Structure 1
Amino acid sequence: MARYTGPKAKIARKFQEAIFGPSKALQKKSYGPGQHGRSRRRKQSEYAIQLAEKQKAKYTYGVLEKQFANTFEKATRKKGVTGEVLLQLLEARLDNTVYRLGIAPTRRSARQLVSHKHITVNGEIVNIPSYSLKEGDVVGVRERSKTLEVISNSLAAGRKQFSWLEWDGKEFAGKFVTMPQRDEIPENIKEQLIVELYSK
């Protein structure tokens, strides 16, 4: 299963954002990683800024390079603003939706739940984290997985409400109602920079 397995705190400090969830390292060391992290960096080129934004989006959604490029290509073929469509496709991933519904505390643990066959889509087990949901799809927890500690703890911690998702606590299932609009997606990503990067 291809995924990023490197140091999380280092990436969070690089972008100065808690990409993988709350980070004590980011609070203690509010500067970039490495021996030159504290020193003032020279002005970044336009390309460097665009590349950094793409890298941030990749790490945020847990997607590797080839998969991200394929998702972007898919976004260019769809109607609408390419950058917004790209984020919609990333939000429609099964692992991301499991995380948004509050079934898992992080996208990484959501990916693991999907891979280990704890999650269903429309009643059928799906173990592909990148599975793309369609409007009306119902994402649920497999019957014998409802007592898993990681799931019960995550749901007990409370979940944020998202307008494009509906959650049924009794059934342990959520509905992907519609594709989210850009202003509804909370991620701090400047998608236009990513579009400009791939357009070169």
Structure 2
Amino acid sequence: MARNTDPVCKICKSQGEKLFLKGERCYTPKCAVDRSRDSSGRRGASGPPGGQRRRRRLSDHGIQLRAKQKARHIYGIYEKQFRGMFDEAARLEGVTGVNLLKLLERRLDNVVYRAGFATSRPQARQAVNHGHIQVNGRKVDIASFIVKPGDVVSWREPSKSSGLYKAANDNVGRRRQATNWITVDSENLTAAIDSTPNEDDVDSTIDTRLITEYYSRR
């Protein structure tokens, strides 16, 4: 299986914002984005006015590409798979961009993250890929598995002695992402899929219009 080896802090810095790819580190002063902002503010006379670097103005294509890359990096998906999900979203009834985010939200690794069973999507993907997660009592080790209403996501019994499970136990009450379509049992570490996500449940910081424009030109 291919693995993304790009430095995740560099990805966030290139976007100019936190994408929360490193779990707990993103909430601490060690966050590279926060440190970069602090250091740029201290440049003073040696740097540009106001201590800010002058960014090159992006073309329309560059803006669209950046929006697409942001979504792709947030969900940890390679281009080929991301394009495939976009094409699938385009075949569904409704707005293509919103459909895309709904499909991305229903990925098993994202559900594990949203439920608070992991501090980041990469950690959630690791839990799935290593066979720690089950859906309706059956092991599923495919991160791109799409959940549906009525599914119950939980940890496999043999995995409850793993470090990832212990970390999930500590994390579930602190970093769980609020959702209206997943009900989490924090005691037993299970997540019940009540419905498919609606437009209010998807990431509002992702500009799906720009993503649609990007692919419409290709």
The yes-or-no answer on 1:84 pairing with 2:84 is no
> What letter corresponds to residue 169 of structure 1 in structure 2?
S
Query: Taking structure 1 as reference, are residues 41 and 139 closer, same or farther at Cα in structure 2, changes over 3 Å only?
Result: same
Q: Gaps spanning 5+ residues in structure 1: where?
A: 32-37
**Which segments of structure 1 move beyond 4 Å, counting only runs of 4 or more?**
none
TM score, norm. by length of structure 1: 0.90
Match of 1:85, SS state, is helix
Higher helix share: 2
Paired residues for 1:127-138 under 5 Å:
127-138=141-152
User: 2:34 corresponds to which residue?
Assistant: 27
CA deviation profile, 1:53-111 (whole Å, cap 9, x unmatched)? 00000100000010000000110111111000000000000000000000111100100
Q: CA deviation at 1:157?
A: 3.2
The yes-or-no answer on 1:145 pairing with 2:164 is no
CA deviation profile, 1:146-198 (whole Å, cap 9, x unmatched)? 34322222225352321010012343211111121222224510011000111
Match of 2:12, SS state, is helix
CA deviation profile, 1:2-56 (whole Å, cap 9, x unmatched)? 232211111111111211141621111137xxxxxx6423321110000000000
User: 2:111 corresponds to which residue?
Assistant: 97
User: 2:133 corresponds to which residue?
Assistant: 119
Q: CA deviation at 1:125?
A: 0.2
Determine the C-alpha separation between the residues in 2 that align with 1:124 and 1:17.
Answer: 38
- Identity percentage of aligned residues: 42
Determine the C-alpha separation between the residues in 2 that align with 1:50 and 1:160.
Answer: 27
Determine the C-alpha separation between the residues in 2 that align with 1:83 and 1:130.
Answer: 18
* C-alpha RMSD of the superposition: 1.6
Largest Rg, 1 or 2: 2
Q: Is the 8 A contact 1:3 1:62 kept in 2?
A: no
TM score, norm. by length of structure 2: 0.83
The yes-or-no answer on 1:7 pairing with 2:18 is no
Q: How many residues align?
A: 194
> What letter corresponds to residue 149 of structure 1 in structure 2?
K
Q: Which moved more, 1:156-165 or 1:115-124?
A: 156-165
